[in-house]
Structure 1
Amino acid sequence: MTCASQWKSLRFGPDFYLGLLILCNHLPPGLSKDPHPLLLILAEGLSEMYLGEGSREKLTGLREMAMHGVLARGLMPVFPTLFYPNYYSLFTGCDVAVFKVQPSFCQPYSGRSSVLTQEAIADALQHFQQGSAAMAAVYYEDVALAGRHHGPGSEARRAALANLDAIVRNTTDTIRSLRLDVNLVLVSDHGLMDIDFDDKVIELENYIPAHFIKKQMDKGATVNLWTNDGREDEVYQLLKDLSNMTVYRRNEVPERFHYGAGRFVSPLTLLADEGWFITWNRAALPYWKNGGDSSLAPNRGWDGYDNSVLSMQAVLLAWGPDFKQSYIAPPLHTVDVYPLLCNLTGVSPLPHNGSWEKVHLLLSSSFDIRTSTCTSWLIFWAMAIWMCMT
């Protein structure tokens, strides 16, 4: 199946945002041969559902990347479908301890601007030309911001999609004009779902006495609760029959989430049904400043829902000398990206939950599996992203 024959059924997504440029000024030791430089675009909130919208014929950058490279037919995020867990899993393939490492270069997050993003990408390509970088990662969040503020189906989010397309188109054109052998990978963390603060809000204070709760972490689709001593069973009983959400004890979390055994998981995990929002009360609902007059507007989109639902599915696009052309890949999981990045950068991966059997299908027949004595390279990137975003 080719991308050319399947483009009309494809779906693409939203707005982009400059955040992060990570460059490594040396290659890890023990490579079988020099790997091609890797440019990684991290697009927060870019949903698989956006591929195939009515404006797709105008998306020349994304369309060309798909038609001359690889598109995965869905990328299932890890649970919970939030920013940090998924970027962590992208760079580790699992829940792996992060060691004390630092990026060789980190450009601080500079704010929302397609121009700044393109400048960061141009800077990365210049380092590739000079041979001073093996990999660069650029983070951009307008996809998520437009979707959260205005809704996944809003015109603002659609305009963001056009900005993303222009960035991708300019990047591939520049790579060609400079005659660089660069692998370009665009990957997102999760999609977004429509929410409605008028009709679909669950207020926990209506069901639980406040003195039962020691700590509540997060609000939205996934909420974590720690109870005061001896109150866990009472809180569970009070919540277990509520409509539009499910409460799990740690040992009841579905196995498919690969979540319940985590050492930081709360005793009780609350998961909202699609489109519902869990909060302590309406006063705690998240609003955003809409305009210069500081007026507040409700969010219209959110993440964190069941990672199997369509609206949460992420995106993986890849283009470059090591990838097949016009190839539609079977659905992948976020943890599968880790062994792909390892082999593209010439690194022996640490133990992980990803599938090399799945992602090696994306690579061209001329690609050689790299061998290396370095075993912590991608842990570097996980820690680098955390450092640059905090």
Structure 2
Amino acid sequence: MSGAFQIRGGQRLSGEITPQGAKNEALQILCAVLLTDEEVRIKNIPDIQDINKLIEILANIGVKVKKNGKGDYTFKADDLNFDYTKSKEFKKDGTKLRGSVMLLGPMLSRFKEAYMPTPGGDKIGRRRLDTHFQGFVEMGAEFHFDEEEYFYTLKAKELNGKFILLEEASVTGTANIIMAAVLAKGKTRIYNAACEPYLQQLCKMLNRMGAQISGIGSNLLTIEGVTHLHGTEHTMLPDMIEIGSWIGLAAMTKSEITIKNVNWNQLGVIPSTFRKLGIQLEKSNDDIYIPSQEHYKVQKFIDGSILTVSDAPWPGFTPDLLSIVLVVATQAKGSVLIHQKMFESRLFFVDKLIDMGAQIILCDPHRATVIGLNHEIPLRGTVMTSPDIRAGNALLIAALSAEGQSIIHNIEQIDRGYEDIDNRLRSIGANIMRI
């Protein structure tokens, strides 16, 4: 459902907000249901476009999908229609969603062949898939890319365990290779593996299904291939990108907000990064409590130099929250250098913030210096367009803090990643309407 959000900003919010299930975890976990012919029940699945598209693709491949309740589904992949993956429809459906690339590992694992159109998704520069294919090829798959059709084909007589050194710690790449390796012959070791909490969740779920994966949470995973996996139940973690977004929202709107059930021990450096910007946040059981603050002052480094916030693979700071930190910095007391190392062209949305009155110097496509206004000059409402999921949410937070009215177009880019976001924000007092 496309359209626009109309937002009247400058209002203090208050109350409790519960984060949705983790989008990036759901994309991996849902692909893993293909690895067994038994029932897999998954709970806390976010009701968002990217996930619903993937569930639709699974149903088209022949997975039996049963909805038990909100965010609670049972999947059974016992009688699959493999021809669909070679069809024109799949070429169309698969391109709409970057997460669909993680279907390759399970398909190759179970059927010894897999097909995939070049996946779509966000416009945040080139996101290469070489890492995935190198892993498959090392395990014995033959790889073909049809340049006219933009279509990948993988085939393997059998997959054999190997020592695989990834050239980058790609989350989806690691997930894909794990899913191919659990049913392969012999032992696979993946070094420079991604170690995100969501990937740890995938490994734990696979182990409950009978896989033998050790080294979970480290960058060296060892997988002893097994011949068969059985069914299981799994519950998603809360979405840490949402959690970080609501911390930023509270600070920008001087609001008192409690973020419920955040799974603190899986948040890594997210809380401490926001504290460096001067934001007070407290742990209360498994919630984050953020008191209302008139001002927040950026900490400098010990030697007095300007604070730099940059992204890095987990357990570093996630690139998906840099846009939120950038927005929050616009109203801090002090200056911050934001350094986006992992993706290109993710900082171009700062133009919109400059239109709203923010003091930002875009140094180059990867770095922006933000000079905080200390809430002395509020941002001004404006009309803007959401470029990608994460920047869309950052602009939404800017608009909620700004004086006057803002309109955000292309909000399907926000709906792709955030469930029912307007209603959830209204419940804590935000003035936001879909138009």
TM (normalized to structure 1)? 0.27
TM-score by length of 2: 0.25
Higher relative contact order (CA 8 A, sep 6+): 1
Structure with greater strand percent: 2
